[in-house]
Amino acid sequence: MTTTLDDILESFEFLDDWEDRYKYLIDLGKELAPLTDEERSEDHKVRGCVSQVWLITSIEKNTDGVPVLIFRGDSDALIVQGLVAIVTAIFNGKTAAGILNIDVEAIFKKLGLQEHLTPQRSNGLRSMVGRIRADAEAALAAA
């Protein structure tokens, strides 16, 4: 079962202690499907993350021929793996144009991530979002 953004928001609302939220983040990361050794390549590595993060983007067309992006990811750090799970839950299955219209900062603010992550993790989170937005822009340009 895939965890949705609504599930994550609901869980974060329910868990008022950040230690419990970090445990939940780690659990979210453990739910990610593992990447193969071939997928953990330099081509898929997200630049700007202190931990190693890999992001795989697949593009499908919906019934209207509009590009829809599917993301899979992984990290070598448990909490970052949880952040990958949140980012993929936000953007997975959305159209390229829809991805570019998501106010991800508002979502992060609602989750309280910015004030509870180290600056390095916050930068890595921004790098993941930047990579996803770049992939969406490329999909739009190619459509």
**How far is Cα 46 from Cα 67, in angstroms, rounded to an integer?**
22
Active site residue 12: no
All structural domains of the chain: 5-142 (3.90.1010.10)
Average per-residue pLDDT for the chain = 91
Q: CB of 84 within 8 A of CB of 29?
A: yes
3-class secondary-structure state, position 65 = coil
pLDDT of residue 143 exceeding 60, the answer is yes
List the single range of 30-44, 78-92, 112-126 with lowest mean pLDDT: 112-126
Residue of 8, 25, 49, 55 with catalytic role: 49
pLDDT of residue 1: 56
pTM here? Answer: 0.91
**How far is Cα 131 from Cα 99, in angstroms, rounded to an integer?**
11
Mean pLDDT of 89-115: 92
Tell me the pLDDT tens digit for each residue of 3-62: 899 999 999 989 888 899 999 999 999 999 999 999 999 999 998 878 899 999 999 988
**How far is Cα 115 from Cα 132, in angstroms, rounded to an integer?**
23
